[in-house]
Amino acid sequence: MQSHAEIHKIIWNSNSQLFNIYAIMCNLVKYYHSLLNPMKTIILSACLLLLSCNAHKDSKVTTINFSEEENCDIFSNESMELVGFTPLDSIGSPIVSSDSKMVESDGSYYFFDNSKMVVHRFDRSGKFLNSIGTRGRGPTEYSAVEDFCIDPAKGNIEFLSLMAQQLYIYNNDGVFISTFKIQGYPYSFTKFNDGSYLFCKGQVADENVKIGNAQLYTIDKAGVVKERYLPIEKNNAFQTPMRDESIQVSNGNVFFKTWFTGDVYEITKSGPRQVTTIDFKDRAYDKAILEKSTDAFMEFLTTVNPYNIGRYLENEKYIYIYVTDANYQKFYHLLHNKTSGKTKISNAIRNNSKYPAIGPAKSLSPNNELLFLIDPIVISDLRNNSDNPFNGTLEIPSISDNSNAILVIFKVR
């Protein structure tokens, strides 16, 4: 018969929301143990195992079948309703691109400037507030950063520098606060409410024995490596860090998308739990290629040109996914209805789509609103096409000097 520790592990790893029920039943088990009645203990333990099995069924993986030929046009009036424009103040140059990372926090939009490696903050009306971060060689400056996040408890902006192996922390006004030394060479991260961090170094080899071959690892607020997840057993081919937003936060949930495999994991208290997989068929990533040489790996990328998940957003009803190929020539918007199980796919392939300039959605709200950052000139062009939300009665804001400066909000019908 399983011990209390083993039963505890089964329940906790299955579904943390069942913990309260489990705690009550565990106390009953302890009580009957004290009465030295093994039969009652066996019965209660069996109930716990049954509860665990039911929890596993509730956490099934959603499989989405991908097809290049399918094109359902998720931006059509049948699928979407255009509900609002928010023009962003011009800040002198087109520095906010459609694929730049955006975080919403405390009534503000935070955009990462890929060229200047700073964050620009705007309020809900689109008014520019300030820029945060300083690139340079001083003690409070960084030469390069890969990612940023916002401390959910304090609201500070934290930049990740892979080469410096540390975080640079600023407040909302752009004032430097401190640095935080980290272990390993991660390129994507986020911070939890308790002050701990989740980092991703993907399939990059690491000499740090505390991290080893794990793709994901956590560091507590003292800088100590605590947990390691999703190890790569053998890697001869891919040894170079990449700049990719592998860790993504949507509606308070943390997700990790693996490179080219189409697998998505939700990061829970008990570790990663796979929630979604996309079947890319013959354009899928061959995991065995990692065991081969770097040349074989590069040949695979060139000849197969596998697909990758660029953006993953999820709420109670929908899953939104932005798919790209390895050569960044083909782009697709996927919208999956979790209730019906149906998926709509719109291609955004250059020179072969009426939506080639619409990049990945920035967010998917709890009330099914998708937010995009779109060039206003593109919006004007789209209004010349029929059967899309842009030719409605909603007035288009005037074009500003910042060519990527209009937030567009769609309501999924």
* 54-91 pLDDT tens trace: 333 346 899 999 987 777 778 877 888 888 888 888 88
State residue 398's pLDDT score.
57
53 has a pLDDT exceeding 70 = no
Boundaries of every domain in the chain:
4-55
**Strand duo 318-325 + 363-364: pairing:** unpaired
Question: Given pLDDT bands bounded at 50, 70 and 90, which one contains residue 204?
Answer: low
Q: Are 51 and 18 in contact (CB under 8 A)?
A: yes
State residue 385's pLDDT score.
63
202 has a pLDDT exceeding 90 = no
State residue 387's pLDDT score.
58
If one counts every other C-beta atom within 10 angstroms of the C-beta of residue 219, the result is 25
Mean pLDDT of 209-215: 79
Question: Given pLDDT bands bounded at 50, 70 and 90, which one contains residue 207?
Answer: low
Taking the C-alpha atoms of 280, 281, 282 and 287 in order, what is their torsion angle to the nearest 10 degrees? 70
State residue 391's pLDDT score.
63
194 has a pLDDT exceeding 90 = yes
Instruction: Mean pLDDT check: name the lowest of 108-112, 133-137, 241-245.
Output: 241-245
Q: Are 344 and 335 in contact (CB under 8 A)?
A: yes
Look up tokens 């955006």; give the residue.
Answer: 102
State residue 203's pLDDT score.
57
89 burial (CB, 10 Å; 0-12 / 13-18 / 19+) is: middle
Instruction: Mean pLDDT check: name the lowest of 3-7, 189-193, 291-295, 358-362.
Output: 3-7
Distance between CA 51 and CA 244 in Å, rounded? 38
Distance between CA 102 and CA 361 in Å, rounded? 10
Read off φ and ψ for residue 31, nearest 5 degrees: -65, -45
Distance between CA 71 and CA 30 in Å, rounded? 58
Question: Given pLDDT bands bounded at 50, 70 and 90, which one contains residue 18?
Answer: very low
State residue 144's pLDDT score.
93
